[in-house]
Amino acid sequence: MSIKNIAKEVFSIESKVIADLSNNLTEDFEKSVKDILACNGKLIISGMGKSGIIGKKIAATMASTGTPSFFLHPGEAYHGDLGMIERDDMVLLISNSGETDEVLRLIPFLKNQGNVIVAMSGNKNSTLAKNATYHLNVSVEKEACPLQLAPTSSTTATLVMGDALAIALMKQRDFQDTDFAQFHPGGTLGRRLLTKVEDVMRKKDLPKVSRETSTKELIQVISTARLGLAVVMENEKIVGIVTDGDIRRSMESLEENFFKLTAQELMSKNPKTIDKREKLTMAQKLMTDLKVNSLLVTYDNSFIGVVQIYDLGI
């Protein structure tokens, strides 16, 4: 079998696992979601080996989508870190076999403390499943590994079940992109959702000209400011805008008369503006809808800056 066909076979096996996963859903999934929503504490996730690695990803997804969550290594928990689990917390224990010793050791403590336990395993008759409040079945027909040894399909199924939990919780909470940005301010989305126009706008040495400004001076102002535009002002109010595109088009069409023109004759009236207090997402939407690369920033009807598509981080 060619290397490419090996990859295709893996895709085929694991995609079938995902498609079949919906057949494993029971009322325990819905009850788990409702209990997590009602939980006054955190969702603590624990698992060993590959299950632990998947658990870390699930915990990270939960934490960034509105469900307070963190991963706790079962071995570390058994040797002192159980104090991290409070009575109001829920615990998601992951073990494909449902018989992982390090995970099972946590159950007596959790039951004694009264924590709700959600088990995620591939064996509904396992010790873990029988001792949990709820069981989420992630059993698979076969692993993608030809030796049926390396966790492949099973870890995919576990990850997808975790994603299903996270998305169900998001939708039940009506979790929006602005909420996501609060937990993820360092990313591009977070920056656009949380940052205001005034935080990124160009506000020094703004390219202002009058109606009478000559073409030659206009070109100099536009070149010096390096914003590709000049703003035509009258009585401290915006009356028009001249872009480098306007200059090029006029130069081609008017030729000999070009240098006899003034800003008044070259400008476009009613340039697009945005208030300095708007978020970058609004600036992006306006630029996209209006098909422009720059917006003039205003505050109390005064021209105070320029924001451009390059400032939005997209």
Contacts of 105 (CB under 8 A, 6+ apart): 74, 78
pLDDT tens digits along 261-311 = 899 998 999 899 999 999 888 898 899 999 999 999 999 989 999 999 888
Contacts of 242-250 spanning 24+ positions with Cβ under 8 A: 242/209, 242/218, 242/266, 242/267, 242/268, 243/268, 243/294, 247/215, 247/218, 247/219, 247/222, 250/215
Q: pTM, whole model, 2 decimals?
A: 0.67
Specify whether the CB–CB gap between 129 and 119 falls below 8 A.
Answer: yes
Domains, the chain, ranges and CATH?
3-175 (3.40.50.10490), 197-312 (3.10.580.10)
Q: What is the 3-state secondary structure (H, E, C) of 117-170?
A: EEEEECCCCCHHHHCCCEEEECCCCCCCCCCCCCCCHHHHHHHHHHHHHHHHHH
> What DSSP letter does each residue of 186-197 carry, written as one string?
TSHHHHHHH-BH
Question: What is the block-wise mean pLDDT of the chain (314 residues), using blocks of 10 residues?
Answer: 93 93 95 96 96 96 90 91 93 97 96 96 96 96 87 95 95 74 57 79 92 92 92 93 89 80 90 92 89 93 92 72
